């Protein structure tokens, strides 16, 4: 793949939340996981652990877990809560539970501060997930980040038998998109790149940041 083709994959990747039937083959899944294997990680610790399932009953249970969490939060704040439902986690060919092993942070010998160690761990796992998403996109498969919040993590841990001390970070569905979302606006390169020093005139106002996701 040349650089332009790679950039095309990056530009066309979407967060897909509506899926149709269709199998992700074992060969495709293997390539997606192989892409994760080559992600950069702090001190080459490779702190990721993935639980992969095709089991329809498990997927339905994951959907119920997220639905119960959504309903509880909606009851707490029926007017202002705008969280998206995640029923699609039960409609895909594969679900990947993305976990992190925090013990790997001990390897960061030159990093003393706990916050810096945490940044490296989180970035390492995010790198592996992004690698998987881009590989999936290159095969015209849809994916999306689904956060594992405190409200759902215990049930997911039990369902997938994930031992302590591993952390549950994200669930990633992989499947065939029923509809590909349109591209959302992107800031221009000149808006966020600063030559030699930070250009104070480019600093966004609070109201610009709050309005941006709605564009």
Domains of the chain, first to last? 3-181 (3.40.109.10)
Which residues touch 33 (CB under 8 Å, ≥6 apart)? 50, 52, 132
Q: Are 152 and 159 in contact (CB under 8 A)?
A: no
- Tell me: the pLDDT tens digits for 8-47? 999 999 999 999 999 999 999 999 999 999 999 999 999 9
Mean pLDDT of the region 40-61? 98
The whole-number pLDDT of residue 214 equals 58
Mean pLDDT of the region 182-194? 94
The whole-number pLDDT of residue 112 equals 86
């Amino acid at each position: 793949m040349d650089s332009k083709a790679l950039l095309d994959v990056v530009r066309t990747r979407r967060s897909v939340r509506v899926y149709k039937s269709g199998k992700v083959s074992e060969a495709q899944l293997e390539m997606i996981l192989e892409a994760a294997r080559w992600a950069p990680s702090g001190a080459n610790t490779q702190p990721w652990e993935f639980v992969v399932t095709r089991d329809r009953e498990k997927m339905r249970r994951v959907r119920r877990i997220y639905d119960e969490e959504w309903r509880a939060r909606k009851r707490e704040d029926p007017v202002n809560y705008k969280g998206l439902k995640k029923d699609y986690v039960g409609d895909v060919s594969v679900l990947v539970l993305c976990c992190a092993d925090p013990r790997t942070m001990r390897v960061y010998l030159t990093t003393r501060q706990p916050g810096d160690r945490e940044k490296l761990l989180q970035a390492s796992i995010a790198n592996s997930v992004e690698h998987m998403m881009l590989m999936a996109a290159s095969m015209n498969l849809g994916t999306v980040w689904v956060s594992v919040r405190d409200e759902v993590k215990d049930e997911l841990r039990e369902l997938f038998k994930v031992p302590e001390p591993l952390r549950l970070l994200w669930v990633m569905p992989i499947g065939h998109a029923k509809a590909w979302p349109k591209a959302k606006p992107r800031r221009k390169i000149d808006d966020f790149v600063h030559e030699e020093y930070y250009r104070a005139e480019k600093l966004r106002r609070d109201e610009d940041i709050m309005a941006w996701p709605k564009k």
